[in-house]
Amino acid sequence: METMDYGALMQKCAIEEERLCFETFNREDALRVGLKLYENARVHPEGVAIEITINGLVVFRYFPEGTVPDNGLWLQRKRNTVELMHMSSLRYLAWLELNGETMTDRKLNPDNYAAGGGGFPINIRGVGVVGSICVSGLPHLEDHQLIVDTLEEMYG
């Protein structure tokens, strides 16, 4: 990744996560968000895999043409990071960088967790994080922005 202002990135992600906090989020919402993510991702020639989980259950998952099995591993790593840290996987990258730490320093296996864009928390106001929205297939900043832009379009 090019030289980046991780403090600004962390603040940007925190603001997005607060702004895109839900009042409720159920399986019907997951279906609508998943289909909208797919629609919005179609402008990219690469395939973008999509996964949405609620309370540990995968309620939406789609691998369009152009995706490969590796995308499934990335979805799982991003989901694990969001569920463990209760923040976007991109914000976690910034958090690690600002603290001068690696996942290994945190005793996290990089085969199971991802510090990069594409994992976003489903945070219900007054309840907390209940799941994740994850995408894989674009560069990390674009994966993150695809989720944010889609949620802003639907709920902003």
Classify residue 111: in a domain, yes or no: yes
Instruction: Work out how many domains the chain is built from and give that number.
Output: 1
Is 1 part of a structural domain of the chain?
A: no
Q: Does residue 23 carry a pLDDT above 90?
A: yes
Confidence grade of residue 3 (pLDDT, cut at 50, 70, 90): confident
What does the pLDDT read at residue 1? 44
Its domain, for residue 113, covers 6-155
112, two tokens: 């199971």
Kindly give the interhelix angle for 69-85 and 89-99, rounded to the nearest 10 degrees: 60
pLDDT of residue 4: 86
pLDDT at 66: 94
Instruction: Evaluate whether residue 107 is within a structural domain.
Output: yes
Asked if the model's pLDDT at residue 2 lies above 80, the reply is no
Residues 39/40/45/47 CA torsion (nearest 10 deg):
-70
Contact, 52 vs 132, CB < 8 A? yes
Looking up residue 39, the CATH number of its domain turns out to be 3.30.450.150
Q: pLDDT (tens digit, 9 = 90+) per residue, 105-114? A: 999 999 999 9
Q: How far is CA 83 from CA 54, 87, 101, 121, in A?
A: 10, 8, 19, 8
Q: Across residues 39-59, what is the average pLDDT?
A: 96
Higher pLDDT, 156 or 96: 96
Residue 21 lies in a domain: yes
Predicted TM-score of the model (pTM): 0.95
